[in-house]
Amino acid sequence: MKTKAKRSISVSLVALTFASTLAACQSNSNSSSSTQNDTAGTTKEHRTLTVEVFDRGKPGQPDLNNNFWTKYINDNFGKQFNATVNFVSVPRAQEVDKLNVLMAAGQAPDISYTYTQGVVYNYVQQGGLAELDSVLKQHGTTLTKYLGDDVLKYGKFNGKQYSVPGKRTVLAGSNTFIRKDWLDKLGLPVPTTPEQFYNTMVAFKEKNPGNVSGVIPYGYSLQPSGPGLGYIPEAFKPSNLTEEQFATLQPQAIWSTNWNMPGFDKAVQYMNKMFNAGLISPNFATDKDGKLLDADISNGKVGAFQTNWDGPYRTAPGTYANLTKNVPGAQLIPIDPWQNDAGKHPKNVYSPNGMYIIIPKTSKNVDLAIQYLNWMADPKVTLFLQNGQEGVDYNLVNGVPKQTGTTNSGDKMMTVANNLDYDILSNGIELGDQQKNTAAISAGYPGYEKDVENALKVGMVDNYTTYFYSIPNAADAKSNTELKNLSAQMLAKLIVAKPAEVDSLYKTLVQQYMGQGGQAVQDEYVKNYKTQNGK
C-alpha cells in the first residue's frame, strides 16, 4: 500500500537567525487587528496581503501570481477589503526549507503553510507565530463554523491557536478487496471475520477458481516506506483499551506497526499462519515498491489484498482496469473482515486536518489574513475556487459540478486537483454536504462511480482517528526512518518463521527494537500524553 509516511520534525539550519529576527520584529504583529471587524470597508488604508502558493513545476502552468484564479481573488476579496493579494511561489519539493529561510529573514508571506506539524511546533517554540484566538473570534465567524472544533484543535499548541488547519474532506485510509467472481464461482459468502477470511483464502488456494498458474490467495507487499499489516491488527487489538493506552500505544500513522500494542503479536501469528499455508505472495519481502503485487492483481492471480480505499479504481496504476482487460468478468469488491472482540470493524483513518496555515508574528496584516480565510470559507467562494465559472468551466448535474475541461490548460490551469493551492482551506472536494462530496468524488473515476461510492462507505465503517498530540514526538522524528526499516526486517523474519518459533522470535526482536530507539519513542508518547493532560 502506498500511503504518506508519518510527518517528522524538520530541523532548520537557520533557527538561531530566525530567533534573533523575531526579537527585532515582534512589536509589529498585531498593529491593526484590535480596531477592525469582519465587514468590508472598515479601513481606508489600502493594504497588500501576501499569500504562499506552491509551485509544482507543472508544464504549461500560468503565472502563479497573475492568472484566472488570482484575478478572481483580487476582484472579489481585494475590492471588498481594499487590498491587493500577492502570491509568493514556493517550490513544492522544498517547501519546508524555503519557508524556514523566509521565516528566518522575516520575509515569510502573511499567510504561509506547511503539511508538517513539527515545523509549526518549532516556530511556536521560537515565538515566531501570531496567536490567533482573539482575531479568529473577531474576524473568523464563518471560518470557525466551517472548520469546527474537531479541525481547529489541530492548530492548537500549548493551549493556544497558532495555526488554522485546512479541512481534509476524505478521511478514508484503506480497504480490503476481494475477487467477488471467485467467491461466486465457489459459492462462498463474503467473509466478515478473520477466521472466515482465512478459510476463504484456503479455498482460493485449493480450488483455484481463476484457473491461474501460481495463484496467490492474499496479495501482500512489505514496503519499507510504511511497513505494516494493514487493518489485520484491528481484529486482534482489545476493544477496551484505556485512553492512555490508546494514545501511547496506537500507531500514529495508517499502515504502521506498534510492537507493544496488545494483540499485535496475534496479528503477526495470523500472517505467519497464512504464509506457512502458502496463502500470501511468496515474494512479499522483496516487492518493496508494490509493483509486483500490482502486476499479480492485474494478471488475475490474486484473490484478495489491501490497499488505499480507492486504489483499484485510480487511473494509475489502474489495477482494476488492467484486471478486467486481462480477465473478462473479473470483479473486485471492498469487504470488511477484520472484526474485533466487540463485533466492530475499526479502521484508523486520516485525521480531519489538512495543511497547517500559519501567520508569522512579523506580519502587519494578521487581521486581514484571517478576513481572507474567513472570506474563503464562504461556500460560494469555495465552489468557484475549486471549479471555476458555472456554465463555462463546469455544469451542475444533480447538484454536483461536472468539469468541461477548461481548467486543464492555459490561464485557468489547476496545477493540482480541486485547486487546493488556491483553495487552501479545503483539502479535497467540498460541496458543503457529504453526500454531494461523495458523488463528486466518485465522478472523478469514470466507469467506476458506484464502486467508488461503495468503497468510500466501507472504508469509513467504525472509523477512528489516532489520539491528537499538540506536542510532536522528537524521539520519533529522530528515529522514525531507522525504526521503520527495522520494522520491515522484523516483519519479514516473523512472517516466514516456523510457527513454533514465532512467539520467542517476536519477543527477541521486540527487545532489540526497543533498545534501538523504540523505548525512547514510547517513553516520549507517555510523557507528552501526561503533559497534555496535566498529569
Q: Please state, as a whole number, how many other Cβ atoms lie within 10 Å of the Cβ of residue 10.
A: 18
Give the separation between CA 492 and CA 286, rounded to whole angstroms: 9
pLDDT score of 16: 36
Q: Please state, as a whole number, how many other Cβ atoms lie within 10 Å of the Cβ of residue 368.
A: 26
Considering Cα of 475, then 477, then 481, then 487, what sign does the dihedral take?
positive
Give SS3 for 119.
helix
Give the separation between CA 49 and CA 387, rounded to whole angstroms: 24
Q: Where are the beta strands (DSSP E) in 95-185?
A: 112-114, 156-157, 160-161, 164-168, 174-179
513: nearest Cα among 497, 489, 496: 489
Considering Cα of 263, then 268, then 273, then 277, what sign does the dihedral take?
positive
Give SS3 for 168.
strand
Give the separation between CA 54 and CA 424, rounded to whole angstroms: 11
466 CB burial (10 A radius; 0-12, 13-18, 19+): middle
Phi/psi for 205 (5° steps) reads -70, -50
Give SS3 for 57.
coil
pLDDT score of 97: 95
Give the separation between CA 126 and CA 23, rounded to whole angstroms: 10
User: Quick one: residue 67, left, alpha or beta (phi over 0 = left, psi -120 to 50 = alpha)?
Assistant: beta
Give the separation between CA 116 and CA 515, rounded to whole angstroms: 27
Q: How many CA atoms lie within 13 A of 51 on its CB side?
A: 28
pLDDT score of 258: 87
Contact 532, 471 (CB under 8 A): yes
102 residue type, one letter: L
pLDDT score of 43: 56
| Tens-digit pLDDT profile for residues 260-314 | 999 999 999 999 999 999 999 999 999 999 999 999 999 999 999 999 999 999 8
* pLDDT beneath 50: ranges in the chain: 1-37, 41
Using DSSP, how many helices (H) and how many strands (E) does the chain show? Answer: 20, 16
The model carries a pTM of 0.87
As a dihedral over the C-alpha atoms of residue 208, residue 211, residue 214, residue 218, rounded to 10 degrees, the angle is -40
307 secondary structure, DSSP code = E
